[in-house]
């Protein structure tokens, strides 16, 4: 067998791993992210790589490299990550690449920001292929972004594309990063859930947590938000409306600054709510666009929830 590559999409809710043989996904594994700290998270990452290899009929000796997309600030030369508030134990510096490499018999491991990696996947294998200048925004546990300019993924000094921490309301709702008024504070699932719990404590009614319990979950997944919206739940609708407003403000500002060809919206919530969600964001953006006669193309992902893992496998080949 020719050397295969593995890609890992590390999120606050789940870890998705794929194995690629050329351009084809030949193995995959998906597990919930452990909430018990960085060592357990890294151990599970190694386990999912091995499970994906097994599904592909391959072994560690067939593995040419591993890419990992992770939230947070990246030190790519050291394979380290920090400030990943949504992943347990990853707020402080974690030597992610070296530790996972050690668990896999010293296989080379490359890491980058999770959304930049997902954008790389969509740029090389998915919806972004026709465009040389586009922004990808992934709405999940948090909100992340990645920018392709003139056909190249922009990395900056390690934190380029972090649109989730652009400010949409000065002095607004507190974000997971500790600052106030960030886009993520209104459109990230974790902060939306926190706000929903606060409203319940104030006596407001919702089916969100009833659905969560019935489905055996301990947090409000994208599917739970979708089901609550389908049932006409007023709180879910109000909080998603706020997310659309905040995304409209942030993405219009990004468009006014960069004059992009396209903006892609993905992530757990973006993929689950789909084209209708993206169309609502486009409508919210339009009044704030400087060149409103020539808006960017608004895209959904082509790879869906495999964007990050496929992009990470592409990263491993770079």
User: Which tens digit of pLDDT belongs to each residue from 261-270?
Assistant: 999 999 989 9
Burial class (CB in 10 A: 0-12, 13-18, 19+), 189: buried
pLDDT at residue 150 in the model: 96
Mean pLDDT of 271-277: 96
How many Cβ atoms are within 10 Å of 56's Cβ, its own excluded?
A: 22
pLDDT at residue 83 in the model: 86
Mean pLDDT of 59-83: 93
Contact status, residue 15 vs residue 49, Cβ threshold 8 Å: no
Task: Tell me which residue of 51, 60, 55 sits closest to 8, measured CA to CA.
Answer: 51
Binning pLDDT at 50, 70 and 90, where does residue 318 land?
confident
How many Cβ atoms are within 10 Å of 304's Cβ, its own excluded?
A: 13
Mean pLDDT of 71-99: 92
Asked if pLDDT for residue 273 goes beyond 60, the answer is: yes
**Positive/negative CA dihedral, 160, 33, 123, 303:** negative
Asked if pLDDT for residue 13 goes beyond 90, the answer is: no
Gyration radius (Cα) of the chain, Å: 19
Q: Who contacts 167 (Cβ-Cβ below 8 Å, separation ≥6)?
A: 179, 181, 182, 183
Asked if pLDDT for residue 260 goes beyond 80, the answer is: yes
Binning pLDDT at 50, 70 and 90, where does residue 128 land?
very high
How many Cβ atoms are within 10 Å of 150's Cβ, its own excluded?
A: 7
CA distance 311 to 13: 18
pLDDT at residue 1 in the model: 52
Strands 152-153 and 143-149: antiparallel
């Amino acid at each position: 067998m020719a050397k295969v590559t593995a890609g890992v999409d590390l999120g606050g809710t789940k870890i998705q791993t794929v194995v690629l043989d050329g351009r084809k996904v030949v193995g995959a594994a998906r597990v919930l992210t452990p909430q018990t700290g960085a060592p357990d998270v890294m151990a599970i990452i190694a386990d999912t790589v091995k499970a994906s290899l097994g599904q592909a009929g391959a072994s560690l000796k067939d593995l040419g490299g591993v890419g990992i997309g992770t939230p947070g600030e990246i030190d790519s030369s050291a394979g380290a990550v920090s400030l990943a508030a949504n992943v347990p134990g990853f707020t402080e510096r974690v030597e992610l690449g070296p530790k996972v490499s050690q668990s896999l018999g010293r296989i080379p491991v490359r890491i980058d920001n999770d959304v930049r990696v997902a954008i790389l996947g969509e740029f090389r294998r998915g919806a972004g292929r026709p465009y040389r200048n586009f922004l990808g925004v992934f709405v999940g546990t948090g909100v992340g972004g990645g920018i392709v300019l003139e056909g190249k993924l922009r990395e900056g000094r390690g934190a380029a594309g972090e649109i989730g921490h652009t400010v949409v309301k000065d002095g607004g709702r507190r974000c997971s990063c500790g600052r106030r008024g960030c886009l993520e504070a209104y459109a990230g699932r974790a902060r939306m859930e926190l706000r929903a719990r606060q409203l319940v404590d104030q006596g407001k009614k919702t089916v969100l947590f009833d659905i969560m319990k019935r489905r055996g979950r301990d947090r409000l997944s994208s599917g739970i938000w979708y089901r609550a919206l389908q049932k006409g739940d007023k709180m879910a609708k109000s909080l998603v409306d706020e997310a659309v407003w905040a995304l409209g403000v942030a993405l219009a500002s990004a468009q006014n600054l960069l004059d992009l060809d396209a903006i892609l919206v993905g992530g757990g919530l973006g993929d689950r709510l789909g084209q209708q969600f993206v169309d609502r964001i486009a409508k919210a953006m339009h009044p704030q666009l400087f060149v409103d006669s020539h808006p960017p193309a608004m895209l959904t992902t082509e790879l869906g929830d495999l964007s990050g893992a496929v992009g990470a496998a592409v990263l491993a080949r770079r």
